Structure 1
């Protein structure tokens, strides 16, 4: 069963729902995205009946805004607890402490932030909302002296995001302070099958402009990225599966790989792949693998055959997801227009442009692009641009 919700549902997901007749729950939020037009749509009551009758039902949320519906209507099922154990970052750290005993962390109520002594926790460290999304309120703190500026940035982020997302998506009642996990960062879309075995559907590397960068600007994938990481990330998901014992359950996992090759989780986002229909759709652009269909049909990509095919369409190219977060320094309400056409001209081979309501959300849209090894400089530009050159003030 699929829950459609704000802020975005892609045309690719809608086509997938129609092609494979995937059940969409007719919530008020789903109806706003045309769910009534799907022949496979089911009522909320039918959804509740199906969940009660199935030990491990297949549920997928496009947005974590649907967590509230799951909690309200499926409270007697195991699903709310399964979501909470991942969504709450402090609970997740406690549950996985035995796997990563050297990773220091501390939960701090928001009311205690002003009194937090940064010298009491080894620097550098990261602070973020215990329940968070889209890197909102995330700050890397290099030293105790940097704490006042970080705290001010957190408060500004939270103020800008107020009212945009429900508490189930962005909760600021408490914050998690944890030691910095150094190394290259990756995002993984996967699901645990009916036996609890993890099935990896996509692997993306998350690029950063600097060590202080905490944005979600650029994610890339390629045959080499998948080939180099598939075995160790599968083992990592198996380790997590032994802790949480979930079945028929989709996840979007963020990890770092340190200098010794250890895979350390940053967070696990439950009951979904990448937000805003992003990472799963990039996998289809790159490899022709449809993660939504794989999950609901219980299919496993044949990565060996796919990656070793000498006649593959993707070759050695890199496929990128560029999230056009508003880093212009200009508030969305003060912007008259954003020149998406001029921005697309910066890419040699843009695959898709998705525009968003930048006055409501702090993002101008998303670009999917394909780059040859000789064209990777365009991704470095995208990573570092503040995008102000494309903004027309109101």
Structure 2
């Protein structure tokens, strides 16, 4: 079963839904996308099918579906499971048995300006209790960065209310938590019908600097999978012992310290990597993550990694420069953007006016082609914007 919602549904996901005959909730998004009528279920029929249980566990491409789940599936444990993961404070509470010494605190938005950060241990991370992407996420290392963060949060409030349901992003409460030094990874996984975690992809989330919190570059490779698969499997086994997670897809973000300790950053329920960027697993390893989830399958990693030596598969996020998001951009030079890479597997154009993102690109590079990925971290993308601040924006 699937609930399709904005902001983005890939052709790859749609084709998979059609090929497998997955039941789809009949809503405006599904009809706009042209889902075959034989697969559409009205709300009453969809709820009844969920109660009975079908061969296709419930998945959604977007957390915009969470309000519907809360409103209509309250008879099941699912809304409660979503709350534990979407509410980052509840999530930290859940993890206390595994991380008893991990420091965190919850404060209301009204309390932020008057908070004495000199009484806190620097650096720390400030983020909304309920969030998405890196909206409202800041690494705080000084009082100056604190003031800048508070100012930016004020400017984001209206934008967030317009773009996302409160169940997905809201700035009513914030979490302050210990900053963990180390490499960051994103894991697409699901807990199967027996409650066993199944990992479908692992991506390294690379940052331009220690202060960077952007979602700009993620990549996967044979080396990344082989170096992390076993330890992340054990990590998820431990999480599964804390709460029931059967038939639950998750997009998971963790930090691994230089000494090998794994610290969870967040667990995003009901989906894999957002905006259907999870599809890169098919380009990299031939893994259709949706099929694997719905068919309760596990990758044969020795086969999936065959012939992948020396290759890196990246998700490159094209974000509109902040100073131009309120201005009038007349277009994007997509040809110029694509020309920056030696091998583009897919280019997905986005409504840059609505979300401040103009594209996702799936890119293949060799391990000796770091210059392309390094450029992604350095660039501000101004060269691809038609209409610049110095041209009257």
Paired with 2:77 and 2:19, the residues of 1 have a C-alpha distance of: 30
Say if 1:56 and 1:247, in contact at 8 Å, map to a contact too.
Answer: no
Paired with 2:239 and 2:334, the residues of 1 have a C-alpha distance of: 41
Say if 1:332 and 1:362, in contact at 8 Å, map to a contact too.
Answer: no
Shift of 1:159: 3.6
Shift of 1:78: 1.1
Paired with 2:363 and 2:315, the residues of 1 have a C-alpha distance of: 7
* 1:189-338 equivalent positions in 2, closer than 5 A: 189-278=188-277, 280-307=278-305, 309=306, 312=307, 314-327=308-321, 329-331=323-325, 333-338=327-332
The alignment partner of 1:359 has SS state of helix
Paired with 1:190 and 1:137, the residues of 2 have a C-alpha distance of: 26
* 1:105-116 equivalent positions in 2, closer than 5 A: 105-116=104-115
Are 1:385 and 2:379 an aligned pair? yes
Paired with 2:55 and 2:86, the residues of 1 have a C-alpha distance of: 19
Runs of 4+ in 1 over 4 A off after TM superposition: none
Say if 2:56 and 2:294, in contact at 8 Å, map to a contact too.
Answer: no
Q: 1:100 matched to which residue of 2? A: 99
Are 1:167 and 2:161 an aligned pair? no
Shift of 1:336: 0.8
Q: Which runs of 5+ in 1 are unaligned?
A: none
Paired with 1:102 and 1:38, the residues of 2 have a C-alpha distance of: 53
Paired with 2:10 and 2:54, the residues of 1 have a C-alpha distance of: 30
Say if 2:56 and 2:295, in contact at 8 Å, map to a contact too.
Answer: no
Q: 2:182 matched to which residue of 1? A: 183
Shift of 1:149: 1.3
Give CA-to-partner distance per residue, 1:212-241, whole Å, 9 cap, x none: 110000000011100110001111111111
Q: 2:64 matched to which residue of 1? A: 65
Are 1:349 and 2:347 an aligned pair? no
Say if 1:89 and 1:176, in contact at 8 Å, map to a contact too.
Answer: yes
Say if 2:160 and 2:170, in contact at 8 Å, map to a contact too.
Answer: no
Give CA-to-partner distance per residue, 1:330-360, whole Å, 9 cap, x none: 1254211111110100000011111111111
Q: Measured at CA, do residues 38 and 378 of structure 1 come closer, stay the same or move farther in structure 2, by a change above 3 Å?
A: farther
Q: 2:390 matched to which residue of 1? A: none
Are 1:366 and 2:360 an aligned pair? yes
* 1:30-69 equivalent positions in 2, closer than 5 A: 30-35=30-35, 37=36, 39-54=38-53, 58-69=57-68
Q: Which runs of 5+ in 2 are unaligned?
A: 388-392
Shift of 1:33: 2.2
C-alpha RMSD of the superposition: 1.6
Q: TM-score, normalised by structure 2?
A: 0.95
Paired with 1:32 and 1:357, the residues of 2 have a C-alpha distance of: 16
Q: How many residues align?
A: 388
Say if 1:332 and 1:358, in contact at 8 Å, map to a contact too.
Answer: no
Give CA-to-partner distance per residue, 1:61-82, whole Å, 9 cap, x none: 1110000110111112111101
Shift of 1:38: 5.6
Say if 1:251 and 1:271, in contact at 8 Å, map to a contact too.
Answer: yes
Say if 1:139 and 1:154, in contact at 8 Å, map to a contact too.
Answer: no
Q: 1:22 matched to which residue of 2? A: 22
Say if 2:181 and 2:255, in contact at 8 Å, map to a contact too.
Answer: yes
Shift of 1:145: 3.9
Q: Measured at CA, do residues 333 and 359 of structure 1 come closer, stay the same or move farther in structure 2, by a change above 3 Å?
A: farther
Paired with 1:116 and 1:152, the residues of 2 have a C-alpha distance of: 14
Q: Measured at CA, do residues 296 and 141 of structure 1 come closer, stay the same or move farther in structure 2, by a change above 3 Å?
A: same
